[in-house]
Amino acid sequence: MATDFALLLRRFLTAHLAGLRGCSPNTVASYRDTFKLLIVFFRDDRSIPPEKLTLDCIDARAVSGFLDWLEDARHNSVSTRNQRMAAISSFYRWMQSQDPAQMACCQDILAIPAKKQAQPGVNHLSVEQTRRLLAQPDRSTQRGRRDATLLATLYDTAARVQELADLTAGDIRLETPAMAALTGKGNKTRHVPLGDNTAALLNVYLAEHRLQGPGHDNDAVFVNQHGSKLSRGGIAWIIRKYQAMTGDPVLANAELSPHVLRHSKAMHLYDAGVPLPYIRDILGHVDLSTTEIYARASTEAKRRALEAAYVDIVSDDLPEWNQDPGLLNWLATL
């Protein structure tokens, strides 16, 4: 017989997350993985097998122990610890309305604070590094044309890697103004404009693969050698392949992933003076505060702000010290 925890967890993952909230499969999988680890923790650390794990076993002290176990035994980062805590908090926030008798326990767990961590910088490429990376594919070959189009689309749309993998021929409009429809977190779709060069690459690529005619709207744009849509890992592998070919030692040794190209596009837009609300809409952020990391990270923007603040205040018009008789006489008396 299923325990109360098992029954409620199933309802939370299926009826609540997937059904009521309409969360994407990736989001549901992330929540599921958190609770898989929680069950493993109780089995291995507390000697409570899954079939005997009940709500009474899980209190604030046990959850705190689980979070410490993630860091100590599994060597998870603070960021991962906080992500797992957020998933547990979401479950117990929902639990309050499902079982009022558990409200006190739920609120104790919800009171567990996130662990503070240093704010990391935004890992991104410079404009020149991005240009060098996107120029690497050999466009004289069919594989190279696919890769050149893939990299250009990934950067130009600032898409998440799964959004690019899920892109279909029907999601692309090449008529002016050209744009791509990206479906991201929460199955929300946003329309992102395409630059002229990216639109030209896509036009040639779609024609070459006969994806522009009727009946192909649901066909994946970027596929592997077997005709199946590229996976997240496959897209990451393509990026690393061309990263190694750039001949730039700094770029070759950088931590480069599809998400770094997304960060790079956002940083380049911000440095070019594009307002944050526009960048938020392109990235598909719900809250503008999420997009503000690019404002905090932009060294170029800070430089421009400092220059603007010191106009006509600080002057570099200084005399040469060896041409100052007063200073030379003073030095001679030392």
pLDDT of amino acid 99: 86
Q: In what order do the strands lie in the sheet with 172-173?
A: 172-173, 179-183, 189-193
pLDDT for residue 316 is more than 70: no
160 annotated active-site: yes
132 annotated active-site: no
Q: Inter-axis angle of helices 142-157 and 196-208, to 10 degrees?
A: 140
43 annotated active-site: no
pLDDT of amino acid 186: 73
Mean pLDDT, all residues of the chain: 88
H or E element, residue 264: helix 258-271
Rounded to whole angstroms, the Cα distance separating 6 from 280 reads: 38
11 annotated active-site: no
pLDDT of amino acid 326: 73
Name the 3-class secondary structure at 182.
strand
Rounded to whole angstroms, the Cα distance separating 275 from 269 reads: 8
Catalytic annotation, pick one of 11, 185, 229, 232:
185
CA-nearest of 43, 37, 118 to 71 is: 37
Catalytic annotation, pick one of 262, 263, 268, 280:
262
Catalytic annotation, pick one of 11, 173, 229, 259:
259
Name the 3-class secondary structure at 183.
strand
Q: What band does 310 get if pLDDT is binned at 50, 70 and 90?
A: low
Residue 243's CB is within 10 A of a number of other CB atoms, namely 22
pLDDT for residue 290 is more than 90: no
C-alpha separations of 3 from 7, 47, 56, 79 in Å? 6, 16, 11, 31
172-208: per-residue pLDDT in tens?
A: 999 989 999 999 877 889 999 999 999 999 999 999 9
pLDDT for residue 301 is more than 70: no
Contacts of 259 (CB under 8 A, 6+ apart): 160, 161
Q: Which residue has the tokens 């960048």?
A: 279
Contacts of 216 (CB under 8 A, 6+ apart): 169, 170, 210
Catalytic annotation, pick one of 160, 263, 265, 268:
160
pLDDT of amino acid 299: 65
285 annotated active-site: yes
Superfamily of domain 127-306: Intergrase catalytic core (1.10.443.10)
CA-nearest of 275, 287, 282 to 192 is: 282
In the numeric block, which tokens belong to residue 295? 């404002």
294 annotated active-site: yes
pLDDT of amino acid 321: 57
224-269: per-residue pLDDT in tens?
A: 988 899 999 999 999 999 999 988 888 888 889 999 999 999 999 9
Of residues 304 and 156, the one with the higher pLDDT is: 156
pLDDT for residue 334 is more than 80: no
Average pLDDT over residues 131-142: 94
pLDDT of amino acid 258: 93
Catalytic annotation, pick one of 145, 146, 268, 285:
285
Average pLDDT over residues 8-16: 93
Of residues 334 and 319, the one with the higher pLDDT is: 334
Rounded to whole angstroms, the Cα distance separating 58 from 9 reads: 13
**Common-topology check for domains 4-110 and 127-306:** no
Rounded to whole angstroms, the Cα distance separating 221 from 151 reads: 13
Question: Would you identify the CATH topology of the domain 4-110?
Answer: DNA polymerase; domain 1 (1.10.150)
Name the 3-class secondary structure at 193.
strand
* % of the chain at pLDDT higher than 90: 63
pLDDT of amino acid 248: 83
pLDDT of amino acid 134: 94
Per domain, the residue ranges of the chain are: 4-110, 127-306
